[in-house]
Chains A and B, each alone.
Chain A
Amino acid sequence: MKLTWTPKEVKKMVKDVLLERGPDVGMFCETDARRRLDAITDPDTKRDKNYRRYLSEQILTNTVEEDGDDVVIRVGMKVGKAGQQHHGFYVETGSSTAPAHPFLRPAVFQNGKDIVGLLGD
């Protein structure tokens, strides 16, 4: 029997699988990021609490998109109500006066094995 290597078909099959399972990975990371964000307790001013609640409940999201041969899964914040594109940045990285509370990067990079497991065998 003659075997034929068909890389285009293999790539398409892999891409289809990634597109099918990507939303599960995106939701998994988003949920973990939200859990981490909700666990932050300082600064504990009303303004800071409301801001974190806004991030967690309103604009934390995930998307799965095709980009050429790639499947891109993004977890992060939507553009804010007033067009802001960097919501949550200073929560994640801290500032000159406020401590950092990373919640997005750990949600992805601490979960590498689980993400690979969700994407398939």
Chain B
Amino acid sequence: MFAKAVYDTLSQDVTLIGMLSSYETKPAIFTTDPAPGDASLPYIVAATVPVSTAFDTKTTRGRLVWLDVRCYAAALGSAKVVNAIAERVRYLLHRQPLLISGHVWIWSECTGPINSDESDAYGRIVTVQILADEL
């Protein structure tokens, strides 16, 4: 549900969509890991949850979730495209409210982008930490 919330936010941004390829008529933002083999760059993979911990009090239940948003673009000699995608992702997620099913958003904060270049693709990773109370 957290990945879905991030997907919804990213896929509704016209500027970001304009920088990504499309996959089956939708923006190439995937909540499966890895991306489908026939997806073409540039694309985003927003699926990995490295940390998910309880954020409970005596009277409330909540969660702190980290989500890696991995941005990839073709390695063609310039990282301009992947940098622009990653910065847009950060802009859209850093301290921005999310609509999370069954939860009330409290706070989000991004770290990164960090470099994750490969031989065929330039990569940047933005990690968003999301804090939410259960409804």
Contacts and interface: CB of A to CB of B under 8 A. Distances in A.
B45 interface: yes
A99 B123 contact: no
Interface in B57-79: 66, 68, 70, 72
A117 B78 CA distance: 48
B118 A109 contact: no
Interface stretch (A16-24, A50-58, A73-81, A89-97): A89-97
A110 B53 contact: yes
B34 A99 contact: yes
Nearest to B49: A102
A100 interface: yes
Given A98-B34, A99-B34, A100-B33, A93 B70 contact: yes
B111 to A, nearest CB: 11
Contact of B33 (A94, A105, A109): A94
B108 to A, nearest CB: 16
A96 B48 contact: no
Given A105-B66, A109-B66, A96 B34 contact: yes
Nearest to B33: A99
Contacts of A112: 53
Contact of A106 (B45, B50, B121, B123): B50
Contacts of B120: 96
Given A93-B68, A109-B66, A102 B50 contact: yes
A102 B48 contact: yes
26 contacts: A90-B116, A92-B50, A93-B116, A93-B125, A94-B33, A94-B48, A94-B68, A94-B70, A95-B116, A96-B45, A96-B70, A96-B72, A97-B35, A97-B37, A98-B34, A99-B48, A100-B33, A100-B47, A100-B50, A100-B68, A105-B51, A109-B50, A109-B66, A110-B52, A110-B53, A112-B53
Interface of A: 89-90, 92-100, 102, 105-106, 109-110, 112
Please name the 3 residue pairs, one residue from A and one from B, whose CB atoms are nearest each other, closest first: A102-B50, A100-B48, A99-B33
Given A100-B47, A100-B68, 6 more contacts: A94-B34, A94-B68, A96-B123, A99-B48, A105-B66, A106-B51
